[in-house]
Amino acid sequence: MTVESKPERGTFLALLADADRGALLGLGGERRYFRGEHLMHQGEPGDEKVLVLLEGHVKATFVDREGREIVLSFRGPGDVLGELSLGRDELRSSNVLAIEPVRARAIATRRFRAFLQRNPTAALTLIDVLGRRFRDANRARVQFAAADTLGRVAARLVELCERYGSEVGNGVEIQLPITQADLGSWTASSRASVAEALRTMRDLGWIETGRRRITVLDPAALTARAS
């Protein structure tokens, strides 16, 4: 792996043992995607390939029967995509779109499955990563059940800080090119409500915003509001 493709903390690649990581990255071929390009499509066969992200970030979305796009999650370098189709030949349950230029390793599903069978420590690592995702999703559902828009947006910003935050002179800058529309879909809020929530946070001195950029100035205040 190159320096710029260092896996983000807590991801599958970051948690793998060095030998397992090297063996995995020796499989498949490299793919590149432009911003806005689909890596995977909702409804397509899920038994074709698994993608390991090396550079760039993506968002997973679900389009409901009314055509509304719901943001499910964001993934970055070190994450694996398509792993939920390993056990069953099912159609993909979500879309995956690049939100910036992306480089990934594409591995045939059968080869990825064989890799896990040969390397049980890697299989356990994947189970651990999936378990964390489900626990985080359940925690978010509980938080969101009783929270207003400001609380839901605060909770997501705290989450983004924990995973994508980088310390700068006056706070923590979220290193993810997220839009207000994405944040609204991710928090089950209208774009206008998200804009109002961000405006309130700016007025309180909790955050600073720029074009596709958010810097958190008071993480403690956000955490308290998200609780």
pLDDT in tens, the chain (227 residues): 343 468 888 899 999 999 999 999 999 999 999 999 999 998 887 678 899 999 999 999 998 888 888 899 999 999 999 887 666 667 788 899 999 999 999 999 889 999 999 999 999 999 999 888 888 777 777 766 667 889 999 999 999 998 888 888 888 999 899 888 999 999 888 889 999 999 999 999 999 988 878 999 999 999 999 87
| pLDDT at residue 147 in the model | 79
Residues 112 and 40 in one domain: yes
For 179, list phi and psi in degrees, rounded to 5. Answer: -100, 165
Residues 75 and 183 in one domain: no
Rounded to an integer, what distance in angstroms lies between the CA atom of residue 171 and that of residue 208? 9
Residues 110 and 87 in one domain: yes
Residues 205 and 151 in one domain: yes
| pLDDT at residue 87 in the model | 60
Pairing of strands 38-40, 95-98: antiparallel
Which one of 142, 174, 195 terminates a domain? 142
Which one of 98, 123, 142 terminates a domain? 142
Residues 10 and 92 in one domain: yes
Cβ–Cβ contacts within 10 Å for residue 15, how many? 19
Residues 122 and 153 in one domain: no
> How is residue 83 annotated by DSSP?
G
Residues 10 and 95 in one domain: yes
The CATH number of whichever domain residue 192 belongs to comes to: 1.10.10.10
77: containing domain: 3-142
Rounded to an integer, what distance in angstroms lies between the CA atom of residue 76 and that of residue 174? 13
Say how many domains are in the chain: 2
Q: Which residue's structure tokens are 């390939």?
A: 49
The CATH number of whichever domain residue 104 belongs to comes to: 2.60.120.10
For residue 46, give the 3-state DSSP assignment. coil
Residues 23 and 120 in one domain: yes
Q: State pTM to two decimals.
A: 0.85
**Contact, 87 vs 138, CB < 8 A?**
no
| pLDDT at residue 139 in the model | 74
Which one of 89, 107, 142 terminates a domain? 142
Which residues make beta-bridge pairs with 96? 40, 60
For residue 97, give the 3-state DSSP assignment. strand
Which residues make beta-bridge pairs with 97? 38, 59
